[in-house]
Amino acid sequence: MTNSKSIPLARIRVAVDAPQHSGLSEPLDYWCEHALAPGTLVQVPLGRREVTGLVWPGAGVEAEVDAGALRPVSTVLEALAPLSAHWCELVAFAARYYQRSVGEVALSVLPPQLRQLNPTQLQARLKRMVKWLASSAPAADEPAGPDLSPDQAQALSQLDVAMAASVDPDAAPAPVLLHGVTGSGKTEVYLRAAEHALARGKQVLVLVPEINLTPQLEARFNERFAAHRIVSLHSGLTPANRLRNWMAAHLGHAELVLGTRLAVFASLPRLGLIVVDEEHDPSYKQQEGARYSARDLAVYRAKQLRIPVLLGSATPSLESWQRAVEGRYQRISLPRRIGDGALPRVRLFDMNTLPRAKGVMSALSPPLLDALRERLARGEQSLVFLNRRGYAPVLHCTECGWKSACPHCSAWRVFHKLDRTLRCHHCGFTERVPRACPDCGNLDIAPLGRGTEQLEEQLALALPDARVARIDADSTRLKGSLEQQLGAVHAGEVDVLVGTQMVAKGHDFRRITLVAAVNPDGALFTSDFRAPERLFSLMMQAAGRAGRDAAQAARSEMWVQTWHPTHPLYQALRSHDFPAFAASQLEERRIAGLPPFSHLALLRAEARTPELAKAFLQAAADWAGQLPEAELVTMYPPVPMAVARVANVERMQMLVEAQSRNALQRLLSHWLPELHASKREHKGVLRWAVDVDPLAI
């Protein structure tokens, strides 16, 4: 290549993943001897490194370029077809909305391996993919679906009307909120909707919260669409398979992509339908880097492409529900279980009625134990859940009051009895349980409270004939162990299943007739305004595990052990009345000015001392006060996060609230560049980040 200025060169804008603190949030300019299509993968010099970047739309093609001032594109990865303009627009929107650089978002949502390959290696990968496509050709035909229930048929015809609207070039179809009680057959509606889109030659994107927790959904899609190419996209794939699947979608070979939140950015040239299953699930929100909501981006992407998006849930997020109330989303209901199976009867057991004898520490009330014995005698399964893993949340000394605090965090270390350890669930710090109190030498140190390990132990003691199994993050640490344990439950080798919320989600357990929540009250009284919404959703989902087999539905029950049986949340749960619960919660939020009636962002800072973190946030607040949008937003004072110290880092946060999304967005876009600049004056601050539409406050 020559650097002579006499040859017309192309100025190329390239999105690169520059570190956030560099302040380089826009694509950078390079030159090349010929123009490159936007979306082309390239390698360019950045500082002393060679990095992968994407040619970004808006390049001044064939403009006069002073080659001396710009650096050249080093390598063009021409083998890969460029990403589409729509895709770039989606990324640009996400970057703008969540206040990250375009390059960071663009590169972070591509398969990691794509950034490491040279042109020869990329060619080889493409060849290998073609081979794979040939060797794993889909079947010739696929099974027909079951007959639809009247509700499903009704939902599907409404959906078809919405899908037909997408043909109209002037009108994007409104997002569809499919509100279906557990067991009402939402999946069949997804399958039929996908079938209709596939029949029109379109690609379909199906998002699920956690792929490991929904193997059955994957199996159902694979079975039904045996004659189509389905690929999955999630972080559990090997890097090579993730790249292969991504390329198959990008090149239009894969017709259906089933994936977790990262799949919302899959490149799909013929995308015609997006399904978001369990749309309320918090795992759709990315918790680091660009903190995006895959659910919200799915809605944006559907609007951008004028295609239908189907959001499904038994307990929709209050944001989506409110939009349906306002008529911005179309609500379609599946109010009954398939086969008119009854929803489990919800029994609220009042813990106040138990005699308060000292030493009665069991989590299991005698009537609940009786109900479990009944199931055991009938050969039915039960599920008991408690949202706390380990044996006990804290160990304490009965003599001097010592507690098993984590030396690095403002949290207790959890007692795990199986391996006799104290483990911090925040920083991972683990030690053997001491023989005696470290402070006074007392030998009598005892667990306080209880977790799933202890519950398992108590159940085994109380029900000596029962086969008790536990499923939680501890029991499923080894690869494949979750599948194995779920398999045992399905095979009927387990009588009582104990677990955290992990077991309450999604699984289609056919033989469970009793679900019990032993201690769910905690979420009623936390400072997080979304806690009741999450609790209700979890309880409804857990209840939905019982009586999925219509023959057993009539005698299926959910037990809730509570000290507050008259609480409105439990009352709504008892009548399976999500609309009533949503209405009361939304009214509370409206009065308190909380989302969806306001818009929030959180600015978080981490430093070695709370003072340093606070000083940064305070300075940030002062800056924001000088911006023109300051009048339209409320800045709350900096406060420590719920767990203020993790791994010896102090964490503070500051809430920003606005009535209008636009005002908040305008403030953030002016504010954040100032913060990048002022960070240099706050050297004690290790990290800071903004979270737009935070889920946890």
| List of residues contacting Zn ion (CB under 5 A) | 397, 399-400, 402, 406, 408-409, 424, 426-427, 429, 437, 439-440, 442
Neighbours of 241 (CB within 10 A): 16
The distance of closest approach from Cβ of residue 1 to Zn ion in the complex, given in angstroms and rounded to an integer, is: 54
The distance of closest approach from Cβ of residue 400 to Zn ion in the complex, given in angstroms and rounded to an integer, is: 3
The C-alpha atoms of residue 432 and residue 596 are separated, in whole angstroms, by: 46
The distance of closest approach from Cβ of residue 646 to Zn ion in the complex, given in angstroms and rounded to an integer, is: 6
Neighbours of 305 (CB within 10 A): 18
Neighbours of 108 (CB within 10 A): 17
Contact 406/424 with Cβ under 8 angstroms? yes
180 vs 447, which CB is nearer to Zn ion?
A: 447
Beta 203-207 vs 256-259: how paired, if at all? parallel
From the list 670, 636, 667, the residue with the least C-alpha distance to 654 is 636
215 vs 640, which CB is nearer to Zn ion?
A: 640
The distance of closest approach from Cβ of residue 440 to Zn ion in the complex, given in angstroms and rounded to an integer, is: 3
Put residue 420 in one of left, alpha, beta given phi > 0 → left and psi -120 to 50 → alpha: left
Q: Which amino acid does the sequence have at 283?
A: S
37 vs 440, which CB is nearer to Zn ion?
A: 440
Strand order, beta sheet including 41-46: 71-72, 28-32, 10-16, 49-55, 41-46, 75-77
53 vs 449, which CB is nearer to Zn ion?
A: 449
The distance of closest approach from Cβ of residue 434 to Zn ion in the complex, given in angstroms and rounded to an integer, is: 10
The distance of closest approach from Cβ of residue 65 to Zn ion in the complex, given in angstroms and rounded to an integer, is: 53
From the list 649, 605, 652, 645, the residue with the least C-alpha distance to 410 is 645
3-state SS assignment for residue 426: coil
Q: Where are the alpha helices (DSSP H) in 166-317?
A: 186-199, 215-224, 239-250, 294-305
338 vs 397, which CB is nearer to Zn ion?
A: 397
339 vs 401, which CB is nearer to Zn ion?
A: 401
DSSP 532-561: HHHHHHHHHHHHTTTT-SHHHHTT-EEEEE
The distance of closest approach from Cβ of residue 150 to Zn ion in the complex, given in angstroms and rounded to an integer, is: 54
The C-alpha atoms of residue 319 and residue 584 are separated, in whole angstroms, by: 14
Q: How far from chain centre, in Å, is Cα 574?
A: 27
**Can you state the angle between helices 452-462 and 366-378, rounded to 10 degrees?**
70
How long, in residues, is the chain? 697
The distance of closest approach from Cβ of residue 403 to Zn ion in the complex, given in angstroms and rounded to an integer, is: 10
276 vs 395, which CB is nearer to Zn ion?
A: 395
The distance of closest approach from Cβ of residue 534 to Zn ion in the complex, given in angstroms and rounded to an integer, is: 24
639 vs 649, which CB is nearer to Zn ion?
A: 649
The distance of closest approach from Cβ of residue 414 to Zn ion in the complex, given in angstroms and rounded to an integer, is: 10
The distance of closest approach from Cβ of residue 651 to Zn ion in the complex, given in angstroms and rounded to an integer, is: 12
63 vs 647, which CB is nearer to Zn ion?
A: 647
The distance of closest approach from Cβ of residue 168 to Zn ion in the complex, given in angstroms and rounded to an integer, is: 56
The C-alpha atoms of residue 7 and residue 537 are separated, in whole angstroms, by: 64
Q: 153 CB contacts (<8 Å, ≥6 apart)?
A: none
The C-alpha atoms of residue 633 and residue 657 are separated, in whole angstroms, by: 6
The C-alpha atoms of residue 311 and residue 328 are separated, in whole angstroms, by: 13
124 vs 440, which CB is nearer to Zn ion?
A: 440
Contact 434/445 with Cβ under 8 angstroms? yes
The distance of closest approach from Cβ of residue 369 to Zn ion in the complex, given in angstroms and rounded to an integer, is: 34
268 vs 427, which CB is nearer to Zn ion?
A: 427
The C-alpha atoms of residue 393 and residue 414 are separated, in whole angstroms, by: 5
Contact 572/348 with Cβ under 8 angstroms? no
The answer to whether the Cα torsion of 304, 309, 315, 321 is positive or negative is: positive
The distance of closest approach from Cβ of residue 291 to Zn ion in the complex, given in angstroms and rounded to an integer, is: 23
Contact 327/539 with Cβ under 8 angstroms? no
408 vs 564, which CB is nearer to Zn ion?
A: 408
Q: 161 CB contacts (<8 Å, ≥6 apart)?
A: none
Neighbours of 366 (CB within 10 A): 11
94 vs 427, which CB is nearer to Zn ion?
A: 427
The distance of closest approach from Cβ of residue 423 to Zn ion in the complex, given in angstroms and rounded to an integer, is: 9
61 vs 440, which CB is nearer to Zn ion?
A: 440
The C-alpha atoms of residue 642 and residue 604 are separated, in whole angstroms, by: 12
The C-alpha atoms of residue 413 and residue 588 are separated, in whole angstroms, by: 35
222 vs 442, which CB is nearer to Zn ion?
A: 442
The answer to whether the Cα torsion of 238, 242, 245, 247 is positive or negative is: negative
What are 475's two structure tokens?
Answer: 């029991």
Residue with tokens 């399976």: 576
The distance of closest approach from Cβ of residue 223 to Zn ion in the complex, given in angstroms and rounded to an integer, is: 45
408 vs 574, which CB is nearer to Zn ion?
A: 408
